[in-house]
Structure 1
Amino acid sequence: MTSTGKPDQQAQPTGRPPHSLRTVFPVLALCWLAVFFDGMDVTMYGAVMPHLLDDTGLGLTSSTAGTIGSWTTFGMLIGALVTGNLTDWLGRRPLLIGSVALFSLGSALCAVAETATLFGAGRFVAGLGLGGLMPLCLAMILEFAPPGRAALTTGLLMTSYHAGGMVATALGMTVAPAWGWRWVFWAGVLPALIATPLLLKLLPESPGVLHAWGKQSQAAQVAGRYGLPAPGAAQTPAGGAQGRWSTVLALFRPEVRWATPLLWLASFSGLLLVYGVSTWLPQLMRAAGYGLTSSVSFLLVINAGGIVGMLIAGRAADRFGAVRISALWFVLTAAGALLLKADLPMAVMYAVVAVTGVWLFSAQVMVYAATGAVYQGSERAAGLGWVTGVGRTGAVFGPWLGGALAAHGNESWGFPAFAAAGLLGAVAIALVPLATRLGGTSHRGGDRAAAVPPSTALSDA
């Protein structure tokens, strides 16, 4: 692979199928299924929140609910950091399968919980698996993505998150009122029964990881099957504990030392929005005077908007650059969050919620696409792990903030707080190209071939 992130034509095996979305569809479909259940598990907590608060036997208050939401995302933070740094050692495939099994176990614990403490423990366990899954799937998709289609492939993958969110919302609207909220969490056990066997049988291992393990023939076989160029040094993570530490240190090499914290800040803002809104939108709308059913249905609508947004953002980012689209989407999210505070007719409010969903979720996903362009192949899994992991602090803060505002009767401040997060994310991601240019021009005498030129890489994302 060349320094611009384009496949090295001379390194490609002969007789391989064309590298297109069609050839990598099996990997995309399997990761899509895994992320579908991720979105379902994350969203079901917000979808049943009103029922959890109404269940006096569980003993959940608005403040405790916000804290448990933060426990979930704290587990995600740990899961993302651990898997992001172990995946090049243990492999993408076993860790991804283990992540699915882990968040299914967490849902089962929630379904049988009789106390808020045990329920919170279940959400923490689920968070460990959920946090590990996302950077693994993103790393797989970016490795298998066709040239010039990284953002579109990422967007297609993330439509599954919102499809899962819509299913969870539908369960919250139908199953929870009829049979109780516990049955919604029992549905969260399905990934272990459906996705795990398929992943075990069909998901390939990363060619770069196989190459790092010394399995060159197997790496070439997997690469040829999916139309990928044969993995080389740039796509191969260094082996051993020293190699894993070197990969982390590479996130602060001169060319990207300032871009890395900016990506973390953008991810913090984006995940604060994603998890804050997913957890508290029904309750905030209920506090604004909307009925229970309509309040939960807003969660369904915003996730539907998220699916549309992923398709729009992916195509736009492949044409104009992931950074530009992410920054614009963050600004539009801020505007939408402020409109959600307004007293609007029901039909207009549904439209505002849907359009806000178009921008909100894909703003964060384009941060991931930009991350894949900033770091070279051998650093990408660790880079994504740290961007998603550090960003999870925003996912911890978002649900806690919503709970704190609700506990003090200040729900009306929720949407302005989300708007501020959108503006912060826009500024952070917009500065990434400048940071990489400054890092590149200030670096003298280093290995320039190891760096991804920001002007090409970020526009290709």
Structure 2
Amino acid sequence: MSSSPAASARGSRLALLVVGLCWLAVLFDGLDMFIYGSVLPHLLETKTFGLTPDTAGDLGSYATFGMLVGALTAGTIADRVGRKTLMVASVTLFSLASGVCATADSVAVFGLGRTLAGVGLGGLLPTAISMVSDYAPRGRAAIVIGLLMTAHHAGGILSAYVAKWLVDPVGWRAAFWVCVLPLLFAPVLARFLPESLSFLVAKGRTDEARTLADRYDVELPAAKSGKRGAADRWTNLVDLFRGGEWIQTLLYWLASFGGLLLVYGVATWLPTLMRAEGYELGSALSFVVVFNLGGIVGMLVAGRAADRFGAPRISAIWFALTAAGVFLLSVHMPMSVTMVVVFLTGVFLNSAQTMIYATVSIRSHADNRATAVGWTSGMGRFGAVFGPWLGGQLLAAGNGDWGFTAFALAGVSSMVFIGIAAVRGSKEASRGGADQELVSAH
């Protein structure tokens, strides 16, 4: 690594460019993800495509099913073709898929568009996390990942304003045309985003990786001993279960399942549930803004706390507080109190899930980091598929209040699983510093 102060400053600026590009990509990811929930009250009230709550829940699950496919394949594809290539392809795919939604003339076509968009959305996030992990300052990976995830919630805020400004005067299709615009960003990514250092090292392109590490003034990831860089993708997956790692892997997967059930259940149905409580559409969309503002604050706070105390511990505490907040939303409260509860729920909910990803990314070895994060995210997507469907079924049966209770119970389960992972990690650290990579070089 370069020791020149001038070179170091230039490297820091270049690394900031990498984080900035990834931040914008995830912003567009958040916009595309939240836009359906933001326009859903309008779609239901106007009975577009003959939508009912249960059908709307199915449509919400189509996108998260696509995200499941994208997340499960992202790691293995990225480990073969590179993180940069996959990021460009993901942005291109979900942008074009939004065009399919904007021109849809039936539920089937709209559902196809949301499924394809989900594949791109699911592929982008774990890849972007892996990318910023490579270019984060030493010992600050968790907070940089938290900063990256603020973009997802900024996209959620943008989706609420897009719906608020366009749906009534222009129509819901205009909102999805806005989601096509990130297609113009794909060539920018292709031009200015460097390749992942972990990918280069894993492929045996160490000299190229070292040159980039020096240029960006970041740590060069170490190659895994005893394994070739071109290791088979299934070997990378099997590595997650070697020795005692299988227990931690399953705990992370189970925590991610409950967390994403909660995240996408709330993200899909929050405006509609609040509309059902009697709030005007504009007020219901304001809850989306407040919820995502809380998410941004939560990412920044949780990242710092995770760097100090460990991501698993912070995630467990955050899930406990989330469960309490979501449950309170089933209780009728004054508007001002409800806003505070929604904000605090956003603070804890979204960052709790992200700290699971931060833990997996930091603890994983360089040449299978994308696989580890991708599969953790992918297993969680089963919960993400179930969450919107569950909310739709409960609403269709006239049991909307039970939706908040069900989502709160999902938060409790994630708290338990990540809490066990935290305790096991602490015991391993006391035996020999197995958590050294998690707390890296404080």
TM range (shorter): over 0.9
In 1, are the aligned partners of 2:326 and 2:345 still within 8 Å (CA)?
yes
Matched, 1:59 2:50: yes
2:309 to 304, 314, 320: 320
**What pairs with 1:300-339 in structure 2 (closer than 5 Å)?**
300-339=289-328
Checking the alignment, whether the CA contact within 8 Å between 1:330 and 1:423 is kept in structure 2 is yes
CA distance in 2: counterparts of 1:235 and 1:98, whole angstroms: 31
Q: Write the deviation string for residues 94-124 of structure 1: whole angstroms up to 9, x where unpaired.
A: 1110000000011100000011111000000
Please say which of residues 13-22 and 381-390 is displaced more in the overlay.
13-22
Given candidates 210, 218, 241, the residue that maps to 1:228 is 218
- Find out whether 1:259 has 2:248 as its counterpart: yes
Q: 1:419 Cα deviation (Å)?
A: 0.8
Matches within 5 A, 1:299-448: 299-436=288-425
Change (3 A) 1:22 1:322: farther
Deviation at 1:373, TM superposition (A): 2.9
- 1:347, distance to aligned residue in structure 2 (A): 1.2
Give the percent of matched residue pairs that are identical in Structure 1 and Structure 2: 49
State the Cα distance separating 1:294 from its structure 2 match: 1.2
Name the SS for the 1:205 alignment partner. Answer: coil
Map 1:173-188; keep pairs closer than 5 Å: 173-188=164-179
Q: Deviations over 1:297-346 (max 9, x none)?
A: 11111011111111111111111111111111000001101111111111
> Equivalent residue for 1:71?
62
Q: Is the 8 A contact 2:12 2:216 kept in 1?
A: no
For normalisation by structure 2, the TM-score amounts to 0.94
Match of 1:35 in 2: 26
- Structure 2 CA distance for aligned equivalents of residues 313 and 207 of structure 1: 26
Task: Show the 5 A alignment for 1:449-460.
Answer: 453-460=433-440
Q: Distance in 1 between matches of 2:172 and 2:200?
A: 43
Quick check: 217-226 or 87-96, which moved more?
Answer: 217-226
* Partner in structure 2 of residue 118 of structure 1: 109
**Separation (CA, whole Å) in 1 of partners of 2:326 and 2:203:** 47
Number of equivalenced pairs: 439
1:166 is matched with which residue: 144, 157, 165? 157
- What RMSD in Å do the two structures reach over aligned CA positions? 2.2
Secondary structure of 2:302's partner?
helix
Going from structure 1 to structure 2, the CA distance change for 1:225 and 1:21 (only over 3 Å counts) comes to closer
Shift of 1:204: 0.1
The offset of 1:289, in angstroms, is 2.3
- State which drifts further: 269-278 or 17-26: 17-26
In the superposition, relative to structure 1, how do residues 115 and 236 fare at CA in structure 2: closer, same or farther (>3 Å)? farther
Q: Which amino acid is 2:214 matched to? A: G
The one-letter code sitting in structure 1 at the alignment partner of 2:298 is G
**Which residue pairs with 2:187 in the alignment?**
197
CA distance in 2, matches of 1:369, 1:303: 19
Q: For the residues of structure 2 that align with 1:164 and 1:236, how far apart are their CA atoms?
A: 42
CA change 1:79–1:436 in 2 (3 A) is same
Does the residue aligned with 2:8 lie in a helix, a strand or coil?
coil
Residues 379/24 of structure 1: CA separation in 2 closer, same or farther (3 Å cut): same
Alpha-carbon displacement from aligned partner over 1:271-305 (angstroms, at most 9, x marks no partner): 11111111000111122222222112111110111
CA separation in 1, counterparts of 2:226 and 2:38?
42
Report the Cα distance in structure 2 between the residues aligned to 1:237 and 1:293, rounded to whole angstroms. Answer: 56
Matched, 1:290 2:279: yes
Q: Tell me how far apart the structure 1 counterparts of residues 31 and 279 of structure 2 sit (CA, whole Å).
A: 24
Unaligned runs of 5+ in 1: 1-11, 443-451
48-57 or 145-154, larger mean C-alpha shift: 48-57
Would the alpha carbon gap of residues 405 and 440 (structure 1) be closer, same or farther in structure 2, given more than 3 Å must change?
same
Q: How far apart, CA to CA, are the structure 1 residues paired with 2:436 and 2:285?
A: 43
